Structure 1
Amino acid sequence: MASIVVFLVALPLCIGVAAASGVPVALGIVTGIIGGLIVGFLPGSSLQVSGPAAGLAVLVLEFVSEHGTGMLGPVVLMCGLVQMLLGVLKAGGLFQSISLSVVQGMLAGIGLPLILSQIYAVVDSKQHGTPLTNVGGMPDLVEAVAGSPTKLAALGLGVMAIVLCFVWYKVPKPLNKVPAPLIAVVLGCIIAALPGFEGVKKVEFGNMLEALNFVSPGDMTHIFDPAVIMMIITFTVIASAESLFSAAAVDRMHTGPRTKYNQELFAQGVGNAASGVVGGMPLTAVIVRSAANVNAGARTKLSRILHGVWLLGFGLLLPGLLGLIPITVLAGVLLHAGWKLFNPPAFVKMWKTDRGEGIVMLITTAAIFFANLLEGVLAGLAIAVVLIALRMSHMSIKQTITGDTGRLELRGNATFLRLPRLIEALEAISDRPRVHVDASRLGHLDLACRSQIEEWGEQRKKAGALHVDIRLPGDKSAEVEEMEEVTTAPEEVEVTAELPNVPAGVGAGPGTAATTAQDHASDSYPNGHQAPSASDFTDTLPPTHERSRPYAEAGYQQTMAQGYAHGHPAHGGYARQHPQHYGPPYAYHPGQPHPGYPQPGYAGHPGQAHHPQHTHYQHPAYPPPQGYPIPQPHPQAAMHPQYQQQPPPPYDPNQPPPPPYQGPPPAGGYWGPGDEWAAQSHGEGSRR
Structure 2
Amino acid sequence: MFKSLRNDIPASIVVFFVALPLCLGIALASGAPLFSGLIAGIVGGVIVGSLSGSKIGVSGPAAGLAAIVLTAIGTVGGFQNFLVAVVLAGVIQLLFGVLKAGIIAYYFPASVIKGMLTGIGIIIILKQIPHFFGYDPNPEGDFAFFEVSGDNTFSSLIKTINNIIPGSALIGIVGLGILILWEKVLSKKGKIFQLIQGPLVAVIAGIVFYAFTKSHDSLSIAGIHLVSVPVPEDAASFLGQFSFPNFSVITQQDIWIVAFTLALVASLETLLCVEATDKLDPNKNVTPTNRELFAQGAGNIISGLIGGLPITQVIVRSSANIQSGGKSKMSTIIHGFFLLISIILIPKLLNMIPLSVLAAILLVVGYKLAKPQLFKKMYDLGWKQFVPFTVTVLGIIFIDLLYGIGLGLLVGIVVILIKSYQNSHFLHKEDVSNGVQKLKMTLAEEVTFFNKGAILKELDRIPRDSYVELDVRKTRYLDNDIIEILDDFAYKAKERNITIKLISERGTVVNPPSYIEFFKLRPVTEQFTN
TM norm structure 2: 0.75
Q: Which of 313, 318, 340 in structure 1 is aligned with 2:346?
A: 318
Once the two structures are TM-superposed, the CA of residue 324 in structure 1 deviates from its matched residue by: 1.1
Once the two structures are TM-superposed, the CA of residue 459 in structure 1 deviates from its matched residue by: 1.8
The whole-number CA distance in structure 2 between the counterparts of 1:25 and 1:33 is 13
Matched with 2:114 is 104
The whole-number CA distance in structure 2 between the counterparts of 1:240 and 1:31 is 18
Asked if residue 327 in structure 1 is aligned to residue 336 in structure 2, the reply is no
Q: Name which of structure 1's ranges 73-82 and 262-271 shifts more when overlaid on structure 2.
A: 73-82
Q: Which of 21, 24, 27 in structure 1 is aligned with 2:26?
A: 21
Any stretches of 5+ residues in structure 1 without a counterpart? 480-688
Q: Does the C-alpha gap of structure 1 residues 409 and 336 become closer, same or farther in structure 2, counting only changes over 3 Å?
A: same
Once the two structures are TM-superposed, the CA of residue 266 in structure 1 deviates from its matched residue by: 1.5
Matches within 5 A, 1:210-221: 210-217=240-247, 221=252
Q: Which of 306, 313, 316 in structure 2 is aligned with 1:284?
A: 313
The whole-number CA distance in structure 2 between the counterparts of 1:375 and 1:118 is 21
- 8 Å contact from structure 1 (residues 49, 289) kept in 2: no
The whole-number CA distance in structure 2 between the counterparts of 1:348 and 1:445 is 39
Amino acid at match of 1:127: N
Matched with 2:294 is 266
Asked if residue 469 in structure 1 is aligned to residue 500 in structure 2, the reply is yes
Once the two structures are TM-superposed, the CA of residue 75 in structure 1 deviates from its matched residue by: 5.5
Once the two structures are TM-superposed, the CA of residue 342 in structure 1 deviates from its matched residue by: 3.7
Once the two structures are TM-superposed, the CA of residue 135 in structure 1 deviates from its matched residue by: 3.6
Q: Does the C-alpha gap of structure 1 residues 25 and 451 become closer, same or farther in structure 2, counting only changes over 3 Å?
A: same
Once the two structures are TM-superposed, the CA of residue 219 in structure 1 deviates from its matched residue by: 6.4
Q: Which of 175, 186, 202 in structure 2 is aligned with 1:161?
A: 175
Identity %: 24
- 8 Å contact from structure 1 (residues 79, 236) kept in 2: no
Asked if residue 202 in structure 1 is aligned to residue 210 in structure 2, the reply is no
Q: Does the C-alpha gap of structure 1 residues 228 and 362 become closer, same or farther in structure 2, counting only changes over 3 Å?
A: farther
Q: More helix per residue: 1 or 2?
A: 2
Matched with 1:376 is 404
Q: Does the C-alpha gap of structure 1 residues 213 and 333 become closer, same or farther in structure 2, counting only changes over 3 Å?
A: farther
Q: For 1:214, what is the secondary structure of its paired residue?
A: coil
Q: Does the C-alpha gap of structure 1 residues 85 and 356 become closer, same or farther in structure 2, counting only changes over 3 Å?
A: same
1:640-680, Cα deviation, whole Å (9 max, x unpaired): xxxxxxxxxxxxxxxxxxxxxxxxxxxxxxxxxxxxxxxxx
The whole-number CA distance in structure 2 between the counterparts of 1:224 and 1:472 is 61
Asked if residue 51 in structure 1 is aligned to residue 59 in structure 2, the reply is yes
Q: Does the C-alpha gap of structure 1 residues 456 and 398 become closer, same or farther in structure 2, counting only changes over 3 Å?
A: same
The whole-number CA distance in structure 1 between the counterparts of 2:170 and 2:312 is 31
The whole-number CA distance in structure 1 between the counterparts of 2:248 and 2:367 is 40
Any stretches of 5+ residues in structure 2 without a counterpart? 233-237, 511-530
Asked if residue 360 in structure 1 is aligned to residue 393 in structure 2, the reply is no
Matched with 1:650 is none
The whole-number CA distance in structure 2 between the counterparts of 1:228 and 1:457 is 56
1:425-451, Cα deviation, whole Å (9 max, x unpaired): 43343421x543413235354444433
- 8 Å contact from structure 1 (residues 120, 127) kept in 2: no
Asked if residue 134 in structure 1 is aligned to residue 152 in structure 2, the reply is yes
1:468-521, Cα deviation, whole Å (9 max, x unpaired): 325265664359xxxxxxxxxxxxxxxxxxxxxxxxxxxxxxxxxxxxxxxxxx
Asked if residue 187 in structure 1 is aligned to residue 205 in structure 2, the reply is yes
Q: For 1:477, what is the secondary structure of its paired residue?
A: strand
Q: Does the C-alpha gap of structure 1 residues 72 and 410 become closer, same or farther in structure 2, counting only changes over 3 Å?
A: farther
Asked if residue 178 in structure 1 is aligned to residue 196 in structure 2, the reply is yes
Amino acid at match of 2:203: V
Q: Does the C-alpha gap of structure 1 residues 224 and 365 become closer, same or farther in structure 2, counting only changes over 3 Å?
A: farther
Q: Does the C-alpha gap of structure 1 residues 210 and 305 become closer, same or farther in structure 2, counting only changes over 3 Å?
A: same
The whole-number CA distance in structure 2 between the counterparts of 1:139 and 1:32 is 29
Once the two structures are TM-superposed, the CA of residue 415 in structure 1 deviates from its matched residue by: 4.9
Matched with 1:441 is 473
The whole-number CA distance in structure 2 between the counterparts of 1:471 and 1:25 is 72
Once the two structures are TM-superposed, the CA of residue 51 in structure 1 deviates from its matched residue by: 3.5
Matched with 2:428 is 398
Asked if residue 239 in structure 1 is aligned to residue 275 in structure 2, the reply is no
Matches within 5 A, 1:251-650: 252=283, 259-281=287-309, 282-284=311-313, 286-288=317-319, 290-291=321-322, 295=325, 304-392=332-420, 394=423, 395-400=425-430, 401-413=432-444, 414-415=447-448, 418-432=451-465, 435-443=467-475, 444-461=477-494, 463=495, 465=497, 468-471=499-502, 476-477=507-508
Q: For 2:308, what is the secondary structure of its paired residue?
A: coil
Q: Name which of structure 1's ranges 217-226 and 161-170 shifts more when overlaid on structure 2.
A: 217-226
Q: Which of 68, 81, 96 in structure 1 is aligned with 2:91?
A: 81
The whole-number CA distance in structure 1 between the counterparts of 2:480 and 2:307 is 52
- 8 Å contact from structure 1 (residues 34, 271) kept in 2: yes
Matched with 2:40 is 31
- 8 Å contact from structure 2 (residues 396, 405) kept in 1: yes
Matched with 1:93 is 103
- 8 Å contact from structure 1 (residues 82, 236) kept in 2: no
Amino acid at match of 1:468: T
Amino acid at match of 1:387: V
Q: Does the C-alpha gap of structure 1 residues 251 and 278 become closer, same or farther in structure 2, counting only changes over 3 Å?
A: farther
1:413-433, Cα deviation, whole Å (9 max, x unpaired): 25555545434443343421x
Q: Does the C-alpha gap of structure 1 residues 240 and 420 become closer, same or farther in structure 2, counting only changes over 3 Å?
A: closer
Q: Name which of structure 1's ranges 219-228 and 22-31 shifts more when overlaid on structure 2.
A: 219-228
1:12-68, Cα deviation, whole Å (9 max, x unpaired): 1221212332435544442332234322332623x3353325xx32x3443455455
Amino acid at match of 2:41: G
Matched with 1:42 is 51
Q: Does the C-alpha gap of structure 1 residues 76 and 353 become closer, same or farther in structure 2, counting only changes over 3 Å?
A: farther
The whole-number CA distance in structure 1 between the counterparts of 2:441 and 2:400 is 43
